[in-house]
Structure formats: structure tokens, C-alpha cells
Amino acid sequence: MNTPLLISIEHLTRHYGELTAVNAVSFDLKRGEVLGFLGPNGAGKSTTMQMITGNLAPSAGKISISGIDLLDQPKLAKAEIGYLPEQPPIYKELTADEYLRFCAKINGIQRTAQASAVDKVVERCGLGDVRSRLISNLSKGYQQRVGIAQAIIHTPSIVILDEPTVGLDPIQIREIRKLIRELGKEHSVILSTHILPEVQMTCDRVQIINKGQLVYSDSIDSLNQSMQATTLLVQFENPPADEALAAIENVKQVDRLADNRFRINFTTSPAKQIAIEAVNNNWGLLELSPEQKTLEQIFVEITSSEHNIEQQTEAEDAA
């Protein structure tokens, strides 16, 4: 059984004068997926989110929401979207209950169904104990929960969250992450963030945008595989010659570091054989540990390589 596409983006582009903020971005999102949308500041994340939600007109491209063309039928398409901007659109002089009833009305929920719609999101977002309190008196974490509640009150197919955990404490962050994972069971979710662990802990897929272009798109499983160790850090009391380490099976490259330490690049981990050779040759093994790439390292490598390619192209054009 094919999972239906809820978002289809084709060659989405946005120009600001001579500046191209988003350049021919294309991707799909299926029901039940949580997509992490990453990028450095100024990469085009927010511009892309604003176009998908219908708050900003694209210069070119097509946006389809649940099979509805956003540009041809904006009202119908927007009804399928729930949106939490980086600054939650909440009225702090209202209670959480009053505000959510207002949101139910402006989202076109029938009067007879508004109370049950409010009750449902209050329960889902854990607002039961604070629903009668003024929003201004709530913690930032609870204000974010109110913001998420307004985004899902009309049971949209797609929920778009822009930096939903910025400024929260660790406990609040954990609670919001749990809520996002639960939302992913019933909706499709796009999570725009620059907090890298957020993506690993909440998303099924990840996309990285840089200089307005998609430079990476894959599943979290594939990303985690990219983070698997391909190097070992070793330290010896009586270090061998580089050639002795390089001769060990599956060792690709040996780099000598300070303090009798080495970085060993491999195809299949030679850790067991290194330990055997260290004992047999009295190298005095002091350290043997895998060196894993972090998501931050991968992110920097991807965005930096794109930056370097762009600089090289500009230099060639100038020449």
C-alpha cells in the first residue's frame, strides 16, 4: 500500500531583487513522516517555510498540499496546514482556553465542535492544568505548547514547526520533542531547526539547505550510518613505526599525532589485530577507541564543501 504524498514541492524559487534566497528546491513529504529541515543562518529555511505555508509568494515553482495547488486554491490548501512560527502567534492577555477557542473559530471549525476541538488539543499538548491561566503567566515551555495546540486544532494534514524548542530548558525541550514525535503519528511534520540533536531525536528524514539550495536529503538511518566510525584513535607507550601499523590488514591510512597517538583510517575495524600486535611487540597499548563523526561535523562538512565549491567556481569565472 502506497503512503500518500501530503506535500509535493517542485523547483521552488524565491528572488529578492538580484538575490536568490531559494533556488529550485524540490522535495516530497509522505503521511506520517517527520522531516528535519536544517541549514545555517541565511540559508533559506524560513523563506522556504513561508512559501510552503502560503505567507510568501514564490518567484517560481509549484507547491501541492494534499493534492491541492497552493497557488491555484490557496484557501483550500492552507486549511490542510498547521503552522507554528519561531515566535508563537499567541495573545498573552487571554487565557489558554480563550485563545484556543478563538483559534477554533478562525480555523472554521463548526460552533458545535469547537469545545471538543479545544478539549482534544488541550489533552494532546498537556495543557489541562494551565488552560484557565493567562498565557502571559505561563512558562515559555507552556507557551510553546499553546502555540503547537493552535497549529493542530483544526486537525491539519501537515504541521510545520519553526524552531519550536528555542529558549526552552532541558526538561521543556524533552517534553516538546516527545510531543513532536506523537504528532508525527497522525500528521506529516516539517521541523525547521538549527539544533542538530533535535533532528536525530525526532525526525525520520533530514534535509540540509545551504545558499538557497538543497545540498543533502536522506533518511535518519542513512545519516546515522554516515556517522559510524571509520577511524580509530590509538596511543602506545612504545610507539611502533608508521609502516608497522599501515601493514595491518584493513588499515587504509595512518596519521601520527602528538603524545605517541595515531589516527588510523580503516575499511573494516582492525581494533582486535592492533591489540594483538601491541601485545606481541610490546608496544604498550594505552588507548584504542573509535572516532565517530558527529552530526555537527557532517553538517559543517556538507555546508563547507558547498561553500568551497562556490568559491572555486567564482574564481574560475573571474579567471
Assign domain 1-80+156-226 to a CATH class.
alpha beta
Q: Residues with Cβ < 8 Å from 88, sequence gap 6 or more? A: 143, 144, 146, 147, 150
Is 0.85 topped by the overall pTM?
no
Alpha-carbon gap, residue 290 to 106, rounded angstroms: 55
Please list the residue range(s) of the chain that carry CATH number 3.30.70. Answer: 229-291
CATH code matching the domain that covers 229-291, chosen among 3.40.630, 3.30.70, 3.40.1440, 3.40.1130? 3.30.70
pLDDT digits (tens, 9 = 90+) for 76-115: 999 999 999 888 889 999 999 999 999 999 999 999 999 9
How many helices (H) and strands (E) in the chain? 11, 14
pLDDT in tens, 190-213: 998 877 778 888 899 999 999 999
Q: How confident is the model at residue 318 (pLDDT cuts 50, 70, 90)?
A: very low
DSSP category for residue 136: G
The CB density around residue 106, as the number of other CB atoms within 10 Å, is 10
How confident is the model at residue 1, as a pLDDT? Answer: 53
The one-letter code for the residue type at 107 is N
AA letter at 161? L
* Nearest CA among 172, 165, 167 for reference residue 203: 165
Contact 51, 206 (CB under 8 A): no
**Inter-axis angle of helices 140-152 and 111-124, nearest 10:** 140
User: Which helix or strand (DSSP H or E) is residue 29 part of?
Assistant: strand 19-30
What does the pLDDT look like over 273-285, one tens digit per residue? 999 999 999 999 9
User: Cβ atoms within 10 A of the Cβ of 316, count?
Assistant: 8
Helix (H, G, I), strand (E, B) or coil at 200: helix
Parts of the chain belonging to CATH 3.40.50.300: 1-80+156-226
Q: Phi then psi for 65, rounded to 5 degrees?
A: -115, 115
Share of the chain above pLDDT 90, in %: 59
